[in-house]
Amino acid sequence: MPSTPRPLRKLGFLTIGLFDAADPGRGHASTLEIIELGERLGFDSAWVRHRHLQYGISSPVAVLAAASQRTRRIELGTAVIPLGWENPLRLAEDLATVDILSGGRLNPGVSVGPPMHFEQVGKALYPDTADTEDFGYARVRRLLDFVRGKPATDFSAVAGFEATRRQPPIEYSSDVVQPHSPGLGRRLWYGGGSLGSARWAGEHGMNFLTSSVVKAENTANAENTGDAGPPDFAEIQLSHIRAFRAHHPDGEAARVSQGLVVIPTDSASPEQRARYEEYAARRLPRTTSPQGPARLLFAPDLVGTSDELAARLRVHAAFREIDEVAFALPFTFAHEDYVQILTDMATKLGPALGWRPAG
Please determine, for residue 256, whether its predicted confidence score (pLDDT) is greater than 90: yes
pLDDT at 3: 44
* Residue count of the chain: 359
Please determine, for residue 40, whether its predicted confidence score (pLDDT) is greater than 80: yes
Q: How far apart are the first and last CA of the chain?
A: 33
Rg, the chain, Cα only:
21
Query: In which band, very low, low, confident or very high, does the pLDDT at 92 lie, cut at 50, 70 and 90?
Result: very high
Query: In which band, very low, low, confident or very high, does the pLDDT at 339 lie, cut at 50, 70 and 90?
Result: very high
Domains of the chain, with CATH numbers? Answer: 10-152+182-352 (3.20.20.30)
pLDDT at 1: 42
The pLDDT tens digits of the residues spanning 148-162 come to: 999 999 887 765 555
pLDDT at 350: 98
Share of the chain above pLDDT 70, in %: 92
Query: In which band, very low, low, confident or very high, does the pLDDT at 223 lie, cut at 50, 70 and 90?
Result: low
The pLDDT tens digits of the residues spanning 287-318 come to: 999 999 999 999 999 999 999 999 999 999 99
What is the rounded average pLDDT of the residues 130-149?
A: 97
Q: How far apart are CA 151 and CA 176, in angstroms?
A: 5
Please determine, for residue 227, whether its predicted confidence score (pLDDT) is greater than 70: no
pLDDT at 196: 97
Share of the chain above pLDDT 90, in %: 88
Q: How far apart are CA 107 and CA 46, in angstroms?
A: 10
pLDDT at 2: 45
pLDDT at 224: 54
Q: Which of 4-8, 276-280, 294-298 has the lowest mean pLDDT?
A: 4-8
The pLDDT tens digits of the residues spanning 169-193 come to: 656 788 999 999 999 999 999 999 9
Q: Which of 77-86, 94-103, 208-217, 228-237 has the lowest mean pLDDT?
A: 228-237
What is the rounded average pLDDT of the residues 39-47?
A: 98
The average confidence (pLDDT) of the chain is 93
pLDDT at 159: 57
What is the rounded average pLDDT of the residues 220-228?
A: 55
Query: In which band, very low, low, confident or very high, does the pLDDT at 233 lie, cut at 50, 70 and 90?
Result: very high
